[in-house]
Chain A
């Protein structure tokens, strides 16, 4: 029997190390795997038995003796028994491409990775010209998963074509995953880091870049450790460095840590930070694809975008683009969080509705109260009322209701949530995280908090409401980047769908109006 207990951050936070110790104390050395993403079951202990790979969860150290006993008799009788992990409906119904290996084994074991189809995409890519790779990515319909959903192939083509022959180009992976309720990047890096490395090497081959950087947020120490181990092993096995697998191609890769600024998830700030400067947004144009890192042509892609590359190169553009709807092709890594019963990572083809996600997968709120609002796409995403929950997860469908899918984070609120406070929080978040370069964001967010306070205090209410709407316009149309430009989304949606929350408060602090 082989025991698996995850070493990803969520499992660790929920006591996975204690579980591992408990196993060791009874003479069992577990494999420290990645997580499957079913966080409501973590720590999820998996055991490879002659009856298949079964799971117990969520387990604590004190459950170990009883589980060990159960394994010797009838595991199914244990209260934490989850059956065959692959058959858990939450998992089984997903369409796992990027996360196909997540949780299966030791994430930094190179043999494991290769045994599970790893580096097949790279091997295919090594036989192709840069343009052929770029064409594959274009044909796949892959769009940037960081939030902006820009077609990856077109960005790559720009970098491929940019600069003088032989000029230095860069591949930069944006791993500064800072949106509230998101963890998909982390899960890739902690559960399957080679996939990201493979995607970056392929990107380098495609556009002619020989240096890659993973810009990782400092709050991800586990991912940092695992990435560095994986990179070292990839170098040792000649997947990185000079003359990759005898191909004559070169690609170097390094991890750089951020310094705790949300704004450095914005690609141009990220580049500034990577260059050692303050994380300040750059005006575009010039696009990073033309003048990026150190002024050279640079691909800046999210972790998920680059991770998807290995799938596309392995299985072919057609196969990938068979998933999805409309112009949103492939799968989406939905991250279900907030006040939710079954939080976790759900990889599905675009097109599933929000309601299916929160009700079927999430099983409603953790508090058991009715869901009141759902914020999709991080702190800059709109709050969606129930009337909008049947919207399919599709970039265009969301844009049509002035919402966004963003990085795929979903945060659920129950009926006790004060949406005026949430609107204020959106402005306040902008106050705290604004880089300070452009005026609408730097000053506008501060004034936004003040104006909302005045509205809620019923000071000159009508005029302040007009002012808040104008401020939202100023921020949306005037800001330099999406930070200030999208802060109005949650504010406006709260105003539009939950207007009563903005009414004068009573002594108890509740808005005087019906919920």
Chain B
């Protein structure tokens, strides 16, 4: 959807959802709109623009600018059209001499306190004040410019992405209201009153020092140049725009990439994007500079050994070289000695091609994806209980939730746009239960207080979930009819006998989970009886040795209370990466073909064999951890890794590094020389999301288009790279466009039957399943019955992890994410987002810190059973005593040097969230960090040599 640049249409006030229609007349023309619509919006919908400055359809009407006044038959004076709602039979006049004069005179007042530097102003040509002055025919300012004014107010340039120039401010409060209503951070306010009113970040601080989270909602809302992106100040106004999908988290926000030629000058959240509805976060909105960072590698490179310098080669030479080596490896070590890892940051089409190349080209099923290390337990757990491996509701339907459980997720940091949506609902009065070892922002922040925070001891989620279910069952709060109607009753009875046992009672589990029995009982009652209950969970649930059990425990709880299958209720995994859902859907797991169909199923195999013209191996292939083990055993020698940094993201780094060193041909396809690429023999230059067409599927199963806004820097999009490699291997692939690939996916996958690029163009986005029976997709799953038929209550016996605190390792380390950085940080570290988070810190409770003589900011050694690293201390009561916490956004942190090989019993998802550690004050980096530093230096040198 390439368009000439135009600001997105704005109807002035939010859409009314009423189904009662009202007919009125505007300038003599009959208009019919839903009840509750403002006169302004009714006019806009009928094509009549009423001038305005403080109104925007992203915010509740405010009525401050007084430019939108109109005349209404039978009413005194001049009502303002933004705060006046339509009434049947109303006769509105939007233009008259009196109206014109009043509006012009108001505008004259504005301009009497506004610089007249339009021609050199950064928003020249994209300014609502300028446009409105033009529309109103303002020709002079009779007050002159000698009076009181704000023309010399000082500019705040502290934020790396936007400036605040109060001399241009018209005090419409759109920024303040956006911060409150849209983002929910309440960082902005109006300071002073009357003529002294001015926008203020926190307590009259710089934006950078304030509570501002740089989501950009204020910048979006600003009708003048007061809040302006620095990129626009530098580059000027965009000339065209392309709608695309964000490549950061699993919320899948829709953006307008605003362009000058092939240069992105701004990313603006797209109002029609159903996942985000015009909102964004600091990553998607601003952190796109990595795509053209100088570290980008744009030419393929090869080398025989990782101690050799890289050699830049043509694409053809690179893929021919790779094919030769892969074939030689297979000839020497067997068919199953090579494999591939697909990327949750790549498109559905690209992921599909990778698994196709493995199954059809490599002749085995050694394909896995990074979902292995994040949401594989979701796949297993939800498939087992409900029948489909996906979240059940839309983000938007959280607006209908009455009680929300957030478990092991930190939406305001990791899924910020969903976090804002959730906060909006919470401010309206929905109840909140947070289950997390840490006091995350949702536990307590402006206008948000969790009704219950259950600070569960890391590793005991299953016990806690069992106790919640126990309370529901033993207090008779279960949804009997729902269960009788929709669930496997025999299995349910067995499960009731299990869960009803006293060993699951809150009182008996209190010592295991560390959660007060009274709070737990109250939370269970609230969820069971508080109306629509929705559960949102994250990696704090899955990344455990009982991750799959916990997911099933969540599904049990939701079924038990009748909270699946309609608006406002559900079970929702918050996906870490932009296309985790999609990469799983596309058959990235070694045991599953696209659409979660087991490779052992002959009918499915037949279908694919027919299409691909090959015979498929019916045995599941290796999972990522198995690949590492097999590599160390000398059985796995070739790996194609696309868009994933396993050396940084997978647990027990030293084990991973050893495995990578033992691989004979490691092919990395990425946009940067990431940690894994330092062990590689072939480097295929990747393409960022801006450089290719395709689709991403977000956490609500929403398939959205990714559109190419600039040519791939390396000449090939990732799908083209994979295709070249497959063809070099003799696995014939002929696609002229990713839409061809999607057509093939649709042909072969029942849940995708109705998906095509044409259809996506028409609908904007599609939530699968989409087929003949649901041609517009499926926003809410399991509506009349569960996908598996009858809902299955799985047994959820708690088996404690072997990773326990003891005298030597008395603390439990858990890990998480921070707002400004994304995953391994490869992208965000190469943007100004690092100004907020330049290093990973270890959070420790003041009590634990004092015992160890650790002060805020001290260097602290962290030892686990498998390794050690050094980070600086953040002494804080966000964590409770006995628990420490860090993030893993910087390679040098070595967070995964400490994490262990423990993994989920069902899916091998690593137990990142529980590592027993000891902390002590140190003065120098760990041995691993020193080695990492010198290895990095060596590899950067080898890269530098190749590039000159």
Q: Which residues of A contact B (CB under 8 A)?
A: 261, 263, 278-280, 283-285, 431-447, 450-451, 463, 467, 470-471, 473-474, 477-480
Contacts and interface: CB of A to CB of B under 8 A. Distances in A.
Q: Is the interface of B mostly helix, strand, loop or mixed?
A: loop
A477 B69 CA distance: 9
A229 to B, nearest CB: 33
Interface stretch (B191-199, B517-525, B631-639, B809-817): B191-199
A285 B75 CA distance: 14
Contact of B63 (A263, A438, A440, A441): A438
27 contacts: A278-B190, A283-B63, A283-B64, A283-B80, A283-B83, A435-B194, A436-B190, A436-B193, A437-B197, A438-B64, A439-B109, A440-B66, A443-B110, A444-B109, A445-B194, A446-B147, A447-B109, A450-B143, A467-B143, A470-B101, A470-B105, A474-B102, A474-B105, A478-B69, A478-B105, A478-B106, A480-B66
A376 to B, nearest CB: 22
A261 B106 contact: no
A433 B194 contact: yes
A4 B645 CA distance: 89
A20 to B, nearest CB: 40
B551 interface: no
Nearest to A447: B143
A431 B194 CA distance: 6
B836 interface: no
Given A439-B64, A439-B106, A446 B171 contact: no
Q: Is the interface of A mostly helix, strand, loop or mixed?
A: helix
B171 A442 contact: yes
A436 B194 contact: yes
Contacts of A278: 189-190, 193
Contacts of A436: 171, 190, 192-197
Nearest to B193: A436
Interface string B72-84: 0000011010111
Contact of B78 (A284, A467, A478): A478
A300 B776 CA distance: 50
Contacts of B65: 438-439
Contact of A480 (B64, B105, B110, B112): B64
Interface in B36-80: 61-67, 69, 77-78, 80
B84 A285 contact: yes
B700 interface: no
B868 interface: no
Contacts of B675: none
A451 B189 CA distance: 31
A261 B148 contact: no
Nearest to B191: A278
A477 B83 CA distance: 15
A440 B109 contact: yes
Given A283-B61, A467-B143, A478-B66, A440 B106 contact: yes
B85 interface: yes
A455 to B, nearest CB: 13
B142 interface: yes
Given A283-B80, A283-B82, A285-B85, 19 more contacts: A280-B190, A283-B61, A283-B64, A434-B193, A435-B194, A436-B194, A439-B65, A439-B109, A439-B110, A442-B194, A443-B109, A443-B113, A445-B194, A447-B147, A463-B142, A478-B69, A478-B78, A480-B63, A480-B66
Contacts of A463: 142
Interface of B: 61-67, 69, 77-78, 80, 82-85, 101-102, 105-106, 109-110, 112-113, 142-143, 147-148, 170-171, 173, 189-190, 192-197
Question: Which of B66, B110, B171 has most A Cβ within 10 Å?
Answer: B66
A438 B197 CA distance: 11
B829 to A, nearest CB: 40
A284 B110 CA distance: 23
Contacts of B66: 438-440, 478-480
B756 to A, nearest CB: 46
A450 B143 CA distance: 8
B78 A477 contact: yes
A474 B109 contact: yes
Question: Which of B102, B110, B143 has most A Cβ within 10 Å?
Answer: B143
A102 B25 CA distance: 55
Given A443-B109, A477-B78, A451 B143 contact: yes
A434 B148 CA distance: 16
Contacts of A479: 66
Nearest to B77: A477
B84 A443 contact: no
Contact of A477 (B85, B102, B143): B102
A78 B110 CA distance: 65
B109 A467 contact: no
A435 B193 CA distance: 5
Nearest to A471: B105
Contacts of B148: 446, 450
Contacts of B109: 439-440, 443-444, 447, 474
A285 B83 contact: yes
A433 B113 CA distance: 19
A468 to B, nearest CB: 10
A444 B148 CA distance: 11
Nearest to B170: A439
Nearest to A464: B142
A284 B106 CA distance: 20
A467 B63 CA distance: 25
Question: Which of B82, B170, B190, B193 has most A Cβ within 10 Å?
Answer: B193
A84 B152 CA distance: 67
Contacts of A437: 64, 173, 197
Question: Which of B77, B80, B142 has most A Cβ within 10 Å?
Answer: B142
Contact of B105 (A285, A438, A441, A473): A473
Nearest to A282: B63
Contacts of A433: 194
A447 B66 CA distance: 17
A377 B66 CA distance: 26
Contacts of A470: 101, 105
A443 B194 CA distance: 8
Contacts of A432: 194
A200 to B, nearest CB: 27
A379 B428 CA distance: 39
Contacts of B194: 431-436, 441-442, 445
Contacts of B62: 283
Contacts of B102: 473-474, 477-478
A433 B85 CA distance: 29
B68 to A, nearest CB: 11
A445 B143 CA distance: 12
Contacts of B77: 477
A284 B197 contact: no
Question: Which of B78, B171, B192 has most A Cβ within 10 Å?
Answer: B171
Contacts of B64: 283, 437-439, 480
Contacts of A435: 193-194
Nearest to B63: A283
A474 B193 CA distance: 20
Contacts of B193: 261, 263, 278-279, 434-436
Contacts of B85: 285
Contacts of B143: 447, 450-451, 467
A401 B83 CA distance: 30
Contacts of A280: 190
A442 B196 CA distance: 9
Contacts of A261: 193
Question: Which of B62, B64, B196 has most A Cβ within 10 Å?
Answer: B64
Contacts of A283: 61-64, 80, 82-83
B204 to A, nearest CB: 14
Contacts of A474: 102, 105-106, 109
Instruction: In the A-B complex, list the 4 residue pairs whose CB atoms are closest, starting with the nearest.
Output: A283-B63, A436-B197, A434-B194, A283-B83
B195 A442 contact: yes
B743 to A, nearest CB: 51
